[in-house]
Amino acid sequence: MAPTPNSPNADNSMQALKQYGSYIVTAILLALAAYFGWTYWQDNHARVDTVAADHYADIQRLNEEVSLASQNPDLEAEAKASLEKSRTQLNKDIDSLVSTHGQSVYAWQALMIKARQQVDSDDFKAAGGTFKKALAIDLGDAGLEAITRLRYATTLLAAGDDKAALAEASHNMPSSFEASQQELLGDIYLVQDNTDSAVKSYNNAWELLRARQETRAVLALKMESLGIVAEPIAEQTSILQESTATAPPVVSEESVEAGAGA
């Protein structure tokens, strides 16, 4: 039962309110400040992500235009000049996004585009620097880190720095990337004339693929060049695989193979 205005309890309540009222008000104000501060942070963070996403969407569109134009071997002089201008603009846009939203997944994706352009131009040294910058982005995702590191190591190998490539490729990676890691290690050992280690790594990669019933023709050719006859792997197609064929892609070592050129 609530105290009546003239009851002793009411007097005590009023006295307590007078005594501690300022503390109560302060606590309420602090709580409101914390709430509105948190709300502001969420709104601002969402706005920043939206800006980064829009910026990346523009980069993606320009990249598609550049990629499409690059496939035409018969460009006229004017068209070639326009293509080079677009490439320059693409790199500027990517650098701008990285400078303003450098720790976002959009910056990582933009750097992947830049590295791919550099690899396509056989500028492996520049591509290595781009992958290194992408590797410094902490996205808290072991799969994205593995993709970046494997591509970085591949680029280092292409640039002739097999020791640095070996160091990068030797990092611990999620189990789903081990087959690609072992195949890359085999490539590196082969460049280093370490045939025994190359054979071992290729065999490791093949057995890892066998465990999940996945074949890889390029790896089989590499093994055959060393006199290893890879035992055929029967790929298994399950109802589950068929039902998820159109599902959104997940980060896996297949993502590395799809972008091996970058």
Question: Tokens standing for 19?
Answer: 């005594």
Question: Tokens standing for 253?
Answer: 């070592």
What is the pLDDT at residue 258?
Answer: 41
CA distances from 30 to 27, 35, 41, 192, 198 (A): 5, 9, 16, 64, 64
Task: Identify the weakest region by mean pLDDT among 52-61, 124-133, 184-193, 229-238.
Answer: 229-238
What is the pLDDT at residue 136?
Answer: 95
Asked if the model's pLDDT at residue 207 lies above 70, the reply is yes
- The CATH architecture annotation of domain 141-262 reads Alpha Horseshoe (1.25)
Asked if the model's pLDDT at residue 116 lies above 80, the reply is yes
Mean pLDDT of 228-243: 62
CA distances from 140 to 42, 146, 188, 229, 250 (A): 20, 11, 28, 40, 15
More confident residue, 34 or 134: 134
What is the pLDDT at residue 147?
Answer: 93
What is the pLDDT at residue 30?
Answer: 58
- Please list, in sequence order, all residues whose beta carbon lies within 8 angstroms of the beta carbon of residue 152, skipping any fewer than 6 positions away: 128, 131, 132, 134, 135, 168
Q: Report which of 178, 186, 114, 106 is spatially closest to residue 146, judged by C-alpha positions.
A: 178
Question: Tokens standing for 184?
Answer: 């890359």
The rounded mean pLDDT for the chain is 80
Asked if the model's pLDDT at residue 98 lies above 90, the reply is yes
Over residues 27-81, the pLDDT tens digits come to: 555 555 555 554 544 554 555 578 889 999 999 999 999 988 888 888 888 888 9
Asked if the model's pLDDT at residue 138 lies above 50, the reply is yes
pTM reported for the whole predicted model:
0.70
CA distances from 66 to 79, 93, 108, 118, 123 (A): 11, 13, 19, 13, 17
Asked if the model's pLDDT at residue 242 lies above 50, the reply is no
What is the pLDDT at residue 246?
Answer: 36
Over residues 148-190, the pLDDT tens digits come to: 999 999 999 999 999 999 999 999 999 999 999 999 999 999 9
Tell me what percent of the residues of the chain surpass a pLDDT of 90: 53
Tell me what percent of the residues of the chain surpass a pLDDT of 70: 71
